[in-house]
Amino acid sequence: DAGVTQSPTHLIKTRGQQVTLRCSPKSGHDTVSWYQQALGQGPQFIFQYYEEEERQRGNFPDRFSGHQFPNYSSELNVNALLLGDSALYLCASSWLGVNTEAFFGQGTRLTVV
Amino acid sequence: DAKTTQPNSMESNEEEPVHLPCNHSTISGTDYIHWYRQLPSQGPEYVIHGLTSNVNNRMASLAIAEDRKSSTLILHRATLRDAAVYYCILGGGADGLTFGKGTHLIIQP
């Protein structure tokens, strides 16, 4: 089992551009969540997808959007990139339920210049 | 979201037990207590979680106060590989996790 895989591992973009990050969940998991982690801070919840719908959302602007595919993989899209969007973006997968643990990928390091 | 309070950092010696405290005085009756840790340059890793009773697994033990307003993560015999940031998180399990700044655990050889 490959666990949660994210691509790419590193990315450099220019202000104003758009970016797409990808996540493949752990085998058998149906729920994918995305987090943003700035340097020296804990991860911040962006949103969660289940059954191809956004189920829950954190305090992030509409520039952040996502998608979940029928095979449970997911994409995170960020439009109109700002310098402040530079961060480690983490994907976590789990089974939807009250008493479940989340498995995290290694993350995508996004640098906006 | 209910808030947790953890020390910014703690230091321990290798092969000794480590007790990592977490205060959560506003915890609700349905909130589980989750612990995750993040090793350098890695994504967070699940450690343990519980609701009311103390819990044990291969990685650690979780001791929950009777009034549930505090909990303690116990690493029974710390190794250098346990050096990480440890996060105490409250939640219903299915929802997104609300991470704080966590406790930076330093293990001295």
B60-73 pLDDT, tens digit each: 999 999 999 999 99
The Cα A65–Cα A57 span in angstroms is: 10
Instruction: Indicate yes or no: CB of A41 within 8 angstroms of CB of B101.
Output: yes
Contacts for B27-32 with beta carbons within 8 Å, 24 or more apart? B27/B2, B27/B68, B27/B69, B27/B90, B28/B2, B28/B90, B30/B92, B31/B2, B31/B90, B31/B91, B31/B92, B32/A98, B32/A99, B32/B90, B32/B91, B32/B92, B32/B93
Nearest CB among A42, A45, A92 relative to B87 is that of A42
Reported confidence tier of residue A100, pLDDT bands at 50, 70, 90: confident
Is B98 in contact with A104 (Cβ distance < 8 A)? no
pLDDT class of A96 with cuts at 50, 70, 90 = confident
**Which residues are CB-neighbours of A61 under 8 A, at least 6 positions away?**
none
Give the pLDDT mean for B77-88.
Answer: 97
Q: Per the CB < 8 Å rule, is B97 touching A44?
A: no
Q: Is the pLDDT of residue A3 over 90?
A: yes
